[in-house]
Amino acid sequence: MPIPQQLAPLSGPQSLTIGGGYDIQGELVPVLTVELAGMTVYFEHHVLLWKDPQVEIGIRSLKGGFKRIMAGMPIFLTEAKGRGRIAFSRDGTGQLLPIHITPAHPIEVREHQFLAATGNVDYTFTRVRGVANLLFSGTGFFIDRFSVPAGEGVVWLHGYGNVFEVVLGPGEQIDIEPGGWVYKDVSVRMETIFQRFSTGFFASAGQIFWNRFTGPGRVGIQSMYQHMPTDE
């Protein structure tokens, strides 16, 4: 079993293949600054920190609007365009993660971990399958999915505490506390594992369920377990 490795902070500003660039600064509550240079970024509500006056703010509609309404998920996000800088932060201690994705490597993300993405990234969702996964996975009914039809895009995520990444080989497995994972490759399978009630209640501080991930692929782990409130 490979040991999870802590993701190192960026050493400085990073350029983007689609133009512009970004920088992540700060340690306790880090800030993401994006240089738009004509491209667009979209982001979750309530994460905008500051922007240059020439940067325009609008609304971005998401694909599959009817399905998203039926699933109780948002159909609109905020979008920024123009030339200039814009900055984002999450109201919580943690680490910001730039995940670069290509057509061959989409990413699946736990709900409420998404911060922002470049405009060429498609944002959809996949339903959590299996009754045990639905009820006890700690994820909710859906997992966010990000992909690009061509080229390269970037998704920025927020993890609470420090974030570690484990790379699983084919058939390798790891059990993670349900509030502890952030993202995974689509090649990684997730299922809910039940622990014996007596062991979970008396020896694991009430921990009865685990998310078991099976490789191949990457899994991101956050050191602060977060169980976000959901409508389910």
**135 in a domain, yes or no?**
yes
CATH, residue 63: 3.60.160.10
- Please state, in angstroms and rounded to a whole number, the distance separating the CA atoms of residues 226 and 203: 21
Domain that holds residue 29: 8-222
Q: How many CB atoms lie within 10 A of CB 177?
A: 16
Q: What is the mean pLDDT of each run of 10 residues along the chain (232 residues)?
A: 81 82 92 92 93 94 62 76 95 93 94 93 78 46 89 95 95 92 95 67 60 95 73 43
pLDDT number for residue 179: 85
Task: List phi, psi (to 5°) of 69.
Answer: -65, -45
**36 in a domain, yes or no?**
yes
The tally of domains found in the chain comes to 1
**27 in a domain, yes or no?**
yes
**232 in a domain, yes or no?**
no
Distances in Å between the alpha carbon of 191 and those of 90, 117, 131, 135, 138?
29, 27, 10, 11, 11
59 touches 43 (CB < 8 A): no
**229 in a domain, yes or no?**
no
**3 in a domain, yes or no?**
no
**228 in a domain, yes or no?**
no
Helix (H) or strand (E) segment spanning residue 67? helix 65-70
In sequence order, what DSSP letters do the residues of 133-190 get, joined into one string?
HHHHSSS-SEEEEEE-SSS-EEEEEEEES-EEEEEEPTT-EEEE-TTSEEEEETTSEE
Amino acid at 38: G
